[in-house]
């Protein structure tokens, strides 16, 4: 199940675990990323807590935890090479995997059609 937030994060949810990243729209607004800071594995976050940070040639920006849960994995490849987020934001440029505290909370997020409407 693919979901989006109004803060431009995407979530691919499978079996109660969400792979989280920032959307193509967010990357286009930020420009070329030069730095990514990810959360620690095992850290727990509430919905909309600041979970990661990105810096681009234009600005620094927070990446929010879209739902409450625990970080189970991070993507070290984007720390080593932030340009992966620019080239494939909704693929190999993912940020972290989140074991959801309550998977049903995802029902309150945007689907792809609603997100496209938001960014139109």
CA–CA distance from 36 to each of 83, 86, 112, 120 (Å)? 10, 12, 25, 27
pLDDT for residue 17? 98
Residue 35: give its domain's CATH number. Answer: 2.40.50.100
- When divided into structural domains, the chain yields a total of 1
Residue 102: which region, alpha, beta or left (left: phi > 0; alpha: psi -120 to 50)?
A: beta
pLDDT for residue 60? 92
Residues in the chain: 120
pLDDT for residue 87? 97
Does 32 reside within a domain?
yes
pLDDT for residue 89? 97
pLDDT for residue 66? 97
Q: What residue ranges of the chain have pLDDT lower than 70?
A: none
pLDDT for residue 97? 98
- What is the rounded CA–CA span in Å between residue 87 and residue 67? 25
Residue 65 corresponds to which tokens in the numbers above? 């935890």
- What is the rounded CA–CA span in Å between residue 21 and residue 64? 10
Does 118 reside within a domain?
no
């Amino acid at each position: 199940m693919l979901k989006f937030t109004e803060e431009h994060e995407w979530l691919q949810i499978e079996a109660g675990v969400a792979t989280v990243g920032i959307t193509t729209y967010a990357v286009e607004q930020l420009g070329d990323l030069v730095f990514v800071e990810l959360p620690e594995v095992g850290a727990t976050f509430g919905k909309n807590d600041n979970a990661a940070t990105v810096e681009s040639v234009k600005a620094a920006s927070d990446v929010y935890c879209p739902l409450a849960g625990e970080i189970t994995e991070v993507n070290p490849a984007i720390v080593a090479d932030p340009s992966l987020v620019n080239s494939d934001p909704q693929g190999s440029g993912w940020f972290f995997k989140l074991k959801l505290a309550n998977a049903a909370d995802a029902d309150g997020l945007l689907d792809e059609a609603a997100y496209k409407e938001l960014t139109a």
